[in-house]
Amino acid sequence: MKSVKFIACSAFIYALGARAQTPAAPTPEDLQKQIQALQQQMQQMMQGYQSQIKTLQEQIDALKAAQSPAAAPAPEEAAQGSVPPIPSAPPSPALQNPAISVLPDFTYSSGNDPYWKSQNAFQVREVELALSAAIDPYATANVYLSLENGHLNAEEAYAMFPGLPGGFSMKVGKFYADFGKQNAMHTHMWFQADQPLALRTMLGDEGLNDVGVSVNHLLPTPWMSDLTVEVTGGRNADVFGGARSDLAYNVAWRNFWDLTDNANLEAQLSLAGGKNATGHGTGLGNLSVTYRYKPLSSGTRASFLWRTEVIRENYRGMDGINRSTGAFSYVDWQFTRGWFAGLRADYAEHPSDPRMHDKGGALTLTFFPSEFQKFRLQYERIDYAGLGPRNALVFEYGFAIGPHGAHPF
Amino acid sequence: MKRTIMAALIIAGTAISATASGKLNVVSVYPDYGWLASQVGGDHVTVSVLAKGTQDPHFVDAKPSFLVALHKADLLLVNGLQLEVGFLPPLLQQCGNAKIQPGAPGYVDLSTFVKPIEVPVGGVDRSMGDIHPYGNPHYHLDPRNMAAIARGLAGVFAAADPSHAADFDKSGAAVSAQLLSLDAEVAHDLAPIKGAPVVAYHATLDYFFLHYGFNVVGFVEPKPGIKPSPVSLMELEKSIRDKGVKLLIVENYEDVKIADKVARDTGARVAVIPSYTGGAPDAQTYPALMRAIVHDLLEASRG
């Protein structure tokens, strides 16, 4: 290394010497001219650099301004002293992990009700794992995995495109159909410990939940109104299940009115159709009405909700059409902070034989110590197909850890 | 390629839903920033507000009727620091408006214009109650913050509507000056009770207390967002007596009955205050809100 440097230095000195010796000795005037020329060159270079720096600085400022719409306010007081910098590590890639929440639901039940008797007395009914994150600037992903009886299912897994051209929004993946309000509610959001009888009997334990595409648009009405159109694969053991190419369709027309600052009314009509396992058609209709009262200034301590849904099913089988109707109506009344009392009435005709029907009801008392856990006591009395009332006493406990945010209203 | 197509779709969508009236369509989640946006934007903006000043800002319902305003908004003004985390995300996913999605220029997080206080050092978890991991979100009760936001909004409006940039700049400076003089007025009016030990219900007024020199001895809530228990109230009453607290300050959407009981037990006086613009009949503008709070505090301290 040293020898390389030595050779380079020698060559440089030799070159200088050679250059100095070549021309005749310059006159003082020549030297003066050369110095002036050099000075001019230097000045031009300096001016060039200065203007380049100025342009670059302007570009930096413009970029900074574009990043934060207005410059952050200057710190109020200039620092008077200085401290050594604290050690730092590279930012963790975990910052870009999806938001992860876990929501287990436990029940204890006793009594002679066949629905509850078919389940363990104490059970972890479900552990929901909710993951969400922006996929990129165009879409957000929501994935809800559900661990039930040792099986892990994707309860929902979809991408949401919130701002498509023309004001459309779109959902792609597996999701609950927008068929009434209750169908799309996850277990931990239910107002009672179980689904209303009409949903269980007519749509099956999983409800209308399938893989497909859902497109939504607001309607230009004076009140809030929107239309959702869904096309799915038509897989549902109870109502749909035709050939591979037989898709199912659902159209939901939702309307919402603020009656006062404290009260609102929501009405939704949903119509769904597809081919069933017999290769014939199934038509479904749902009319859902919800009234909510929640005083603005004391809404955390008092509220009231009343919801009624009527479901109609036309199932064409090998031997004609079965027309069945189901309905439920419930109220949930918050009487003090964290405490809710509820009542539900149920009615459901059997889609396989509408002459038979189940009816009953449930009483609930629910306590939320915080938004993140709940204790519920439920008494349920149902008469299945006129065979006499069956009773169940259910205790439910659930909690949520993680940032699991708000649900759709 | 896919990305290009998607970007083209998004841009087309944005162009289609551009405002027809020529005015900027501004939606503010909370009324205080709605007032500010009207002041800074003047005739060049139309402003609508989602939450009401009479309700607890943490528990706003994600009502579908909000979607109508969000659907046509050019700019959405959010408080940030996770105050809206309980209701805004599903509304944004449903509103069908690409312009105001997080990350888009129309999503304006006003907390970027202020310096948050009470930013937890290290991890936070829910055993601490409803701690906001990015700091106390109730920064609007310090008029200097509102002045900084006024200047910030002028820049945001100018970027969105450059043809009126000069007007926004001028009104932003004027509103900012007005807010700074409001600040001086409030500081002057509160001078008689400056330094007083107080108890508050929730940390809504911490920016206010810090700036105007109040000594907060404790909160009715044992932890943020957590309902007081008989034991926590006994401890609070003890420290009220020990530290000679005469003033108990409660936001008017909180449970005033609990505060009244503490006041009865200890001899302290309760000031029930509005804490957001529109929160009381005499607090329909932001300056009116600040004056109403000053009035209520002075009134309660006189007894």
Task: Say yes or no for a CB contact (<8 Å) between A370 and B52.
Answer: no
Closest CB to B90: pick one of A165, A338, A408.
Answer: A408
Q: Do B105 and A69 touch (CB under 8 A)?
A: yes
The fold of the B2-184 domain, in CATH, is: Rossmann fold (3.40.50)
Measured in angstroms, the CA of A387 and the nearest CA of chain B are apart by: 43
Q: Do A137 and B227 touch (CB under 8 A)?
A: no
How far apart CA B145 and CA B143 sit, in angstroms, is 5
In chain A, positions 192-221, which contact chain B (CB-CB < 8 Å)? Answer: 216-218
DSSP structure class, residue A95: G
How close are the terminal C-alpha atoms of chain B, in Å?
71
Interface contact B59-A163, CB threshold 8 A = no
Give A99's contacts (C-beta < 8 A, 6+ positions apart). A130, A131, A132, A133, A402, A403, A404, A405
**CATH architecture, domain B190-302:** 3-Layer(aba) Sandwich (3.40)
Of B56, B126, B155, the CB nearest to A69: B155
Among A216, A223, A297, A401, which would you mutate to test the B interface (most chain B Cβ atoms within 10 Å of its Cβ)? A297
Predicted confidence at residue A9, as pLDDT, reads: 42
Instruction: Give CA–CA dist B168/B39, Å, rounded.
Output: 10
pLDDT at A70 over 50: no
Query: Which residues are CB-neighbours of A163 under 8 A, at least 6 positions away?
Result: A169, B10, B13, B14, B95, B96, B97, B98, B99, B101
Tokens of B126: 């829910």
Q: Is the pLDDT of residue A68 over 60?
A: no
What is the predicted pLDDT for the residue at A1? 44
Could you report the per-residue pLDDT of B165-189, keeping only the tens digit for each? 999 999 999 999 999 999 999 999 9
pLDDT in the model for residue A299: 83
CA A82 distance to own-chain centroid? 45
pLDDT digits (tens, 9 = 90+) for A77-125: 445 577 777 777 777 777 788 999 999 999 999 999 999 999 999 999 9
**Which residues in chain A have Cβ-Cβ distances shorter than 8 Å to B152?**
69-70, 73
* Backbone dihedral angles phi then psi of residue A69, each to the nearest 5 degrees: -50, -40
Query: In the predicted model, what is the mean pLDDT of residues A389-403?
Result: 95
Cβ–Cβ below 8 Å for B61 and A257: no
Chain A residue with CA closest to B229: the answer is: A369
What is the Cα–Cα distance from A154 to A144, expressed in whole angstroms?
Answer: 6
Residue A163 in contact with partner chain B when CB distance is under 8 A: yes
Out of A68, A167, A298, the one facing B71 most closely (by C-beta) is A167
In chain A, where the domains are located? 159-397
Residue A365: predicted pLDDT: 98
Between CA B247 and CA B198 the distance in angstroms is 5
Rounded to whole angstroms, what are the CA distances from A91 to A96, A345, B3, B121, B223? Answer: 10, 54, 27, 16, 31
Query: Which of B65, B99, B113 is nearest residue A224 as measured by Cβ atoms?
Result: B65
What confidence score (pLDDT) does residue B17 get?
A: 39
Q: What is the pLDDT of residues B251-281, one digit of tens each?
A: 999 999 999 999 999 999 999 999 999 999 9
Percent of chain A whose pLDDT exceeds 70 = 86
The arrangement of secondary structure in A159-397, i.e. its CATH architecture, is Beta Barrel (2.40)
- A409 reaches B (C-beta below 8 A): yes
Tell me the per-residue pLDDT of A13-59, one tens digit each, with 9 for 90 and over: 444 444 444 445 667 788 888 878 878 887 877 777 777 777 777 77
Question: How many beta-carbon pairs below 8 A join chains A and B?
Answer: 155
Show residues of chain A in contact with B68, CB under 8 Å: 218, 224
| pLDDT for residue A326 is more than 80 | yes
Beta strands in A259-280 (DSSP E): 263-275
Q: Tokens 């607090």 — which residue?
A: B283
Residue whose token pair is 């309860």: A155
With beta carbons under 8 A apart, name residues in chain A contacting B94: 162, 169, 216, 408
Residues of chain B contacting residue A226, judged by C-beta atoms under 8 Å apart: 64, 67
Arithmetic mean of pLDDT, B62-89: 95
Query: Å from A198 to nearest chain B CA?
Result: 26
Q: Which of B52, B85, B97 is the closest to A296 by Cβ?
A: B52
Q: What is the pLDDT of chain B when averaged over all its residues? A: 92
pLDDT at B71 > cutoff 70 = yes
Q: How far apart are CA A182 and CA A180, in angstroms?
A: 6
Please enumerate in sequence order all residues whose Cβ is within 8 A of that of B2, keeping only pairs 6 or more positions apart, or say none: none
Residue A29 has a pLDDT of 80
Q: Give the integer Cα–Cα distance in Å for A77 and A71.
A: 17
Q: Using an 8 Å Cβ cutoff, are A217 and A167 in contact? A: yes
A258 interaction partners in chain B (CB closer than 8 Å)? 63, 65
The whole-number pLDDT of residue A73 equals: 44
Beta-carbon contacts of residue A194 (< 8 Å; ≥ 6 apart)? A115, A116, A200, A362, A378, A380, A394
Pairing of strands B247-251, B197-200: parallel
A210, A252 in Cβ contact below 8 A? no
Question: How many CB atoms are located within 10 Å of the residue A117 CB?
Answer: 13
Q: Do B115 and A75 touch (CB under 8 A)?
A: yes
Chain B interface test: which of A265, A288, A298, A367 (most B C-beta within 10 Å): A298
Domain ranges of chain B: 2-184, 190-302
Q: Which residue shows structure tokens 């599903």?
A: B90
Query: What pLDDT is recorded for position A310?
Result: 98
| Cα four-point dihedral sign A222, A159, B134, B24 | negative
Answer whether A162 sits within 8 Å of B97, measured CB to CB: yes
The yes-or-no verdict on residue B245 having pLDDT over 60 is yes
Task: State the pLDDT at residue A406.
Answer: 57
Same fold, B2-184 and B190-302: yes
* Residue B66, pLDDT score: 97
Residue B2 has pLDDT above 70, yes or no: no
